[in-house]
Homo-oligomer: A and B are copies of this chain.
Amino acid sequence: MSKGTVVLAYSGGLDTSCILVWLKEQGYDVITFLANVGQDEDFKAAKDKAETLGAKKVFIEDVRAEFVEDFIWPALQANAIYEDRYLLGTAIARPCIARKLVEIARREGAQFISHGATGKGNDQIRFELSCYALYPEVKVIAPWRIPEFYNRFKGRKDLMEYAQQHAPADLYMMTKNPEDSPNSADVLEIEFKNGVPIKVVDVKQGTSKSSPLDIFSYLNLIGGNHGVGRIDIVENRFIGMKSRGIYETPGGTILLKAHLDIETFTMDKEVRRIKQGLGIKFSELVYNGFWYSPECEFVRHCINKSQENVEGKVQLSIFKGQVYILGRESPKSLYNEELVSMDVQGDYDPCDASGFIRINAVRLRHRAKLSS
């Protein structure tokens, strides 16, 4: 008799294939779910494999469009970066995948979910917190934390981990080595509204993209071709270990630079400061797996509010791993060439600056006098 139904987050790889078989051995009915978030994968082969290995049902869903719109765009609005460097690609994908997985689990009446994330990583947390938040009664089976499983299969995981840690050169899938990238720049214009891109124009090609998924895919292509967005870092996992990570986020890197630029151009200075703090908070929450938490929802709401006037066009060139801002324009620009220039005085009286400075100096001078 079945112990119940499990929906397994299936990757098509050896790892989750082992889990599929093991779950069946343990007496579960197994449904596999493989999300297409844009990875390079033979989905047909994965489906056949899962069926061959005994999956009761096999779901493969293209969640690319919702991944971009519901997850990447809010992260972009936040200028999300973890520990000053990591653009959170994987971290953002987890809640997207978990949402669909929970949807399937509820629909299929599954009481269990399972995944192939390891017992020391962040992904187990991101995945499970998302599932618990969306399906609080669910039971999680995490084989890499179950001794009978990991003692039996440890060898394989080790191999993969080892490969990942020691062969970084092969790890880059989307980006060319900048040394091998084109010797002339590509020039793009990205148009934003409400802090998200609504159009990208390839200036040299004369082509353009307008749907979120098309925009993001195109920027991944161009950025990848120019070797943009590779990093090799040591980061702090939520569980308190440091780990080495090698990442590539070509499209994300281009968008972050462009968004930062148009945001500073159109957003009030002091709003920006408060929003910067919220963005750092957002990044920590997402990294740690709290996408579906009240605080992350709250922060997303606030950040989204801050983006109301973040619109306009940014011109940039992409060359040898770098993104250069060439210029920007916006109907909501707060940059006032007249106000800032020397030749037009307008409403600004330079004498005011003397008072401004002297008042700012009141406590500094008072203190200096006391201590002398």
Contacts and interface: CB of A to CB of B under 8 A. Distances in A.
Given A84-B79, A134-B368, A261-B233, A298 B274 contact: yes
A41 B68 CA distance: 51
A299 B274 contact: yes
A203 interface: no
A265 B242 CA distance: 8
A363 B265 contact: no
A302 B304 CA distance: 11
A1 interface: no
Interface residues on A, range: 35 or more
Given A84-B276, A359-B356, A271 B243 contact: no
Question: How often does this chain occur in the complex, in copies?
Answer: 4
Tell me what chain A mostly uses at the interface: helix, strand, loop, or mixed.
helix
A73 B261 CA distance: 28
Instruction: Count chain B CB atoms within 10 A of each CB in A140, A231, A243, A351 and give the residue with the most.
Output: A351
18 contacts: A120-B342, A125-B357, A132-B364, A140-B354, A140-B357, A158-B341, A230-B324, A232-B327, A240-B359, A240-B366, A242-B269, A270-B290, A274-B295, A274-B299, A290-B364, A294-B363, A334-B366, A348-B362
A107 interface: no
A112 interface: no
Interface in A268-304: 268-278, 280-281, 284, 289-290, 292-295, 298-299, 301-302
A234 interface: yes
Interface string A295-336: 100110110011000000000000111101111100000111
Contacts of A294: 268, 270-271, 363, 367
A365 B293 CA distance: 10
A301 B336 CA distance: 27
Contact of A347 (B273, B292, B365): B365
A85 to B, nearest CB: 7
Contacts of A83: 264, 272, 276
Contacts of A184: 179
A367 B272 CA distance: 15
Contacts of A324: 230, 232, 321
Interface of A: 79, 83-85, 118-120, 124-125, 128-129, 132-136, 140, 142, 144-145, 147, 150, 154, 157-158, 161-162, 165, 178-179, 184-185, 230-237, 239-244, 260-261, 264-265, 268-278, 280-281, 284, 289-290, 292-295, 298-299, 301-302, 305-306, 319-322, 324-328, 334-336, 339-343, 347-370, 372
